[in-house]
Structure 1
Amino acid sequence: MLASRASVLYRAKPMTRPIMGFVRNALGLDPPASPDDPTPENRFHLWEQSPSPDLRERAARIKAMATCPVTHKDVQFTCPLSGIPTHHSKEAWEQDVEYHESKRYELLKKVNIYEHDLRSGRPFPEFDFPQEQDYDRMVNMNNWDLFFYTRSFYSMDTEFQLAAVTKMLSYPMTIGSVLHQYSPYSLNPKGPVTLEGLKSLAALRYTLYPEQSGRVRAGQDTPLRIFILGTRAEAQLPGHVWKQLQHLFPETSIELHFVGPESFYDREKRSYVQSSTETIVKRIDESMQLFYHTDFFHVFHEAQDFFPYDPYNDVFFCFHPGFAAPETQEYWMEDTMKALLQTKCAVFTTGFSKDDLLRDINLVQDTYGSELDMLMDPVPNVFGSTKWELNDNNPHEVYQFNMYIAGFRGKRYHAIEL
């Protein structure tokens, strides 16, 4: 499970209010707040008494599966500060000095109010995404606020709106922020991108910005192929969410290839489709298509289904893959990782936390160090989700999607002994 690998995090990212929202409030141009607008007060409910059946079920699941960190008994007591079951009893809750000193309940409370907001039935105007970008307007990729402002998103003035939207857009914008010509990630030593990383990104940007290159490359009409391996939640995102990625690169057609046994969920059959021969295709429009390959990457690689690979046209992303996780390590670190490195194309991967990502990257380097080049050192992801999530198996673990990012690639140039 995703959550089982999440590292415990105790400090939220500082969020600034969007520029225009602040200006409007300062000038008194905003209408009075509606009593139905989300606030920490009106979105707070004890999960076991929640108006949402889903959250009442989650409270029961936590009590059935989680263990109290103080008594090591089952969880039966709901923290009154967070509204989430956390300890065996009130006495155990009071004795948990680390829980109170770290103020972990503050992050758990955020989990609580975010989940209730999503189920509140309020209007969600923040999900009305903008369409094509005007050619005379530049997109700023330095952070969420500037991206939303320069892309003319609905002004998101509350943490609830940011949490809802950034969770969805974290996947396409993580990809976009790495590939964009005005990426927030700069070259070493000031930034995380290595010299080899600059080479890989320069090749991809040559394809993404054909007019700016001043040259016409053979096969220029070939779409950029973005392979997303081990896909789960990201493969279920609606097409218009992924279309936001293509709006950043209007001159280029994009193919998204979701690869993995959980890449396509059949809602009618209520099960994942699994096949090594059939590919499911969804066409968003003439410039974007989604492909679902419902088996492991190395299966298609060995069958040469994706051949030939081209570092100018192909790039790989792995969101929270769990290279080093005991339950998934064997699936990643043998045939699949060997196949990935053989492509000689850029691979970028994210983690729930710095420790989570470092475990993955360190294992890859320890196992295949002589066969790869680092493209991007582990660094906080500018476009990580701001919504806090909870591990139901251990309610003391909270995390955010795509918090850190790094990149590597199979080594292209080998030293020759003279």
Structure 2
Amino acid sequence: MASNTVCHRCLRAAVSLARSSQSASTASRRTFTSSSATRPSRRRSIHQAAASRAPAVEAARVSEPSLPYQDVRGRQSDKDAAAQRQPNRILLQPNNLFHSYTHSPAPEIRKRAAFMRQNAYCPHPDHQPTRAPVSPDDLEARKTGAMPPRHVSYECPDCGIPVSCSEEHFVDDYSSHLEICDTLRQINEDDHDLLSGRFFPEFEYPGPQIDEAQVNMTNWDTMLYSREFNAVNEARPMRQVTRLLTYPATIASVLHELSPYSLKDRILPEGLRSLSALRYTLHPPRTGAGIDIKGLRPNPPPVRLFILGARAESSLPREVWIQLAHLFPRATFHLIFIGPESMSNRDDEFPLPPRTPSNPFGAIVEDRLGGQMKISTYVEYFHTLHNAQHFYPYDPYFDCFMLFHPGLGHPASSHEWAETLPQLLETKVPIICTGYTEFDMQRDIAWVKEQARGEADLLMRPGENRFRSLRWDLNDLDPGDVSCGNWGVWAFRGKRYEADEYRGKQQEGTTGWEK
């Protein structure tokens, strides 16, 4: 059953994920070194429980400020400081969530609007381009005019987000903005909902699954129902809860024996071979173990999930990642977050541990997570750890790589994966990847196919992820760019050569790359 309290870390993680997605499709979409330097950061507050939360009161009427969120010297206003000293104060009611970003009752959103006004450029075609377009749908590709670039300053009255440099350009390009205006308004309301101060029953997570109750992994609704989550009967709470759970649910949906993906749905024969090995370990048969001497049985090692290029996912509340262990009750996990930005949004854990002979790479180890899960974080590149044989040997029965929005083929981040990809293929271990859009996935697949030079097998065809985030995210550096976490999923691994009986020429396209 679910606990009686709500973890405030889940709420803060949802806000952090919404803010960290601001560089979703820019040049720093998934680069390891540049994305966190351009975002405003804030320290976490102390983890508090909500059991003693006071009953909801009427929202205080907040007048629109006549001045921006900060003055010229960058000092915070007294009103904002008082709001931060009252974290449990109800700011907004469910029927009053739409507000202008610039005049928002929430200080965090006003600060975000100021960031957009200082960094985002007007997408009107009359302006000169400021960067190279990264996709066919990028609004930057339309810019062919001679006007100098200008930052956004005019807010759309329908979505409340700064989208143009002036009202004239907004009216002139209104037809293009109308395509995403409804989505931007939904993002606006979802952001204000996270900071409204309401009680969040959707962030209550259930405990272990009983053996008699099977989990239905068909989609979000069946999974949440069969896992005995609190009923989510509205679209907005559903979007909020899936924004966090999409990371463990995406992994489980591919590795679980009741996975919705099969040979009839995107899994290739080579993929079934690799996944069957992992599923054999994740769903072991009952051994009749007991508490006495006769009941002693050897336990298999934990399944290692290497999450490369970790950033926002490494800062998720551990209650979210423990849901992965509840979906595999007879298996143990060792989550390994690797990447120079794997400690983003974890300022309360700095400074990092020293590098000693027993801990040569300064790993942050969390081993008190209920007995089924252990988490290690390495602020380092994977190829450095691989060259040192830190995780050697790799076993396809116990190891799996997970890449959330890696940007393998992105022009700004592909060079950082050039040295890592051959090492991943060398392990012969399944590599699961997600992408923001269809174009993002196809660009990654084309880059892997080109770099691998025939030494990679496609395990799972690319397509929409059934457990993608239902919440849309806004790119603060480009208000016209919206995306959702883990929209698509696909998988590959290094090609394995095994002696087999010759049965004739292999038919073209059976490997899945050509389709």
Q: Normalised by the shorter chain, which TM-score bucket?
A: 0.7 to 0.9
The equivalent position to 1:233 in structure 2, one of 290, 307, 312, is 312
Q: 5+ unaligned residues in a row in structure 1: which ranges?
A: 8-33
The equivalent position to 1:412 in structure 2, one of 496, 499, 504, is 496
The equivalent position to 1:352 in structure 2, one of 428, 436, 461, is 436
1:6/1:353 contact within 8 Å kept: no
Deviations 1:246-301 (A, max 9, x none): 00111111110111112135524767779662221102121111011220111111
1:185/1:193 contact within 8 Å kept: yes
Q: CA deviation at 1:74?
A: 2.1
After TM superposition, the structure 1 = structure 2 runs for residues 14-413 of structure 1, keeping only pairs within 5 Å, are: 41-70=95-124, 71-72=126-127, 73-102=150-179, 104-187=180-263, 190-211=264-285, 221-265=300-344, 266-268=346-348, 277-283=361-367, 284-333=369-418, 335-413=419-497
2:65 corresponding residue in structure 1 = none
2:333/2:373 contact within 8 Å kept: yes
SS at match of 1:406: strand
Deviations 1:48-90 (A, max 9, x none): 0001111111111111111212243321100011010001122
Structure 1 vs Structure 2 CA RMSD: 2.6
Q: Find the aligned partners of 1:114 and 1:274 in 2 and give their Cα distance.
A: 40
Q: CA deviation at 1:238?
A: 1.4
Q: CA deviation at 1:197?
A: 0.4
2:433/2:491 contact within 8 Å kept: yes
Deviations 1:324-347 (A, max 9, x none): 1222211112x2111111110000
Structure number having the greater helix percentage: 1
Q: Find the aligned partners of 2:251 and 2:425 in 1 and give their Cα distance.
A: 19
2:353/2:362 contact within 8 Å kept: no
Q: Find the aligned partners of 1:213 and 1:155 in 2 and give their Cα distance.
A: 36
1:259/1:296 contact within 8 Å kept: yes
Q: CA deviation at 1:165?
A: 0.9
Q: Find the aligned partners of 2:218 and 2:287 in 1 and give their Cα distance.
A: 23
Q: Which entry has the higher C-alpha Rg, 1 or 2? A: 2
2:432/2:490 contact within 8 Å kept: yes
SS at match of 1:62: helix
SS at match of 1:285: coil
Deviations 1:29-65 (A, max 9, x none): xxxxx99898874110000000111111111111111
Q: CA deviation at 1:119?
A: 0.4
Deviations 1:307-326 (A, max 9, x none): 11000000000001111122
In 2 relative to 1, CA 296–219 (structure 1 residues): closer, same or farther, beyond 3 Å? farther
SS at match of 1:240: helix
Q: Find the aligned partners of 1:65 and 1:414 in 2 and give their Cα distance.
A: 54
SS at match of 1:250: coil
Q: Find the aligned partners of 1:143 and 1:305 in 2 and give their Cα distance.
A: 37
**Identical positions, percent:** 42
Q: Structure 2: which amino acid aligns with 1:145?
A: D
SS at match of 1:286: coil
SS at match of 2:480: coil
Q: Find the aligned partners of 1:100 and 1:328 in 2 and give their Cα distance.
A: 29
In 2 relative to 1, CA 394–100 (structure 1 residues): closer, same or farther, beyond 3 Å? closer
Q: Find the aligned partners of 1:258 and 1:411 in 2 and give their Cα distance.
A: 25
Q: CA deviation at 1:174?
A: 0.4
Q: Structure 1: which amino acid aligns with 2:378?
A: H
Q: Find the aligned partners of 2:219 and 2:478 in 1 and give their Cα distance.
A: 31
Q: Find the aligned partners of 1:91 and 1:299 in 2 and give their Cα distance.
A: 52
In 2 relative to 1, CA 205–234 (structure 1 residues): closer, same or farther, beyond 3 Å? same
1:262/1:272 contact within 8 Å kept: no
SS at match of 1:365: helix
| TM-score after normalising by structure 1 | 0.86
Q: Find the aligned partners of 1:101 and 1:83 in 2 and give their Cα distance.
A: 13
| TM-score after normalising by structure 2 | 0.70
1:274/1:295 contact within 8 Å kept: no
Moved over 4 A (4+): 34-41, 269-276
Q: CA deviation at 1:5?
A: 4.4
Q: Structure 2: which amino acid aligns with 1:248?
A: L
Q: Identify which range, 84-93 or 64-73, moves more after superposition.
A: 64-73
In 2 relative to 1, CA 352–166 (structure 1 residues): closer, same or farther, beyond 3 Å? same
Q: Find the aligned partners of 1:199 and 1:45 in 2 and give their Cα distance.
A: 52
Q: Identify which range, 310-319 or 274-283, moves more after superposition.
A: 274-283
In 2 relative to 1, CA 336–172 (structure 1 residues): closer, same or farther, beyond 3 Å? same
Q: Find the aligned partners of 1:202 and 1:355 in 2 and give their Cα distance.
A: 29
Q: Find the aligned partners of 2:347 and 2:171 in 1 and give their Cα distance.
A: 44
Q: Structure 2: which amino acid aligns with 1:235?
A: S
2:255/2:278 contact within 8 Å kept: yes
2:74 corresponding residue in structure 1 = none
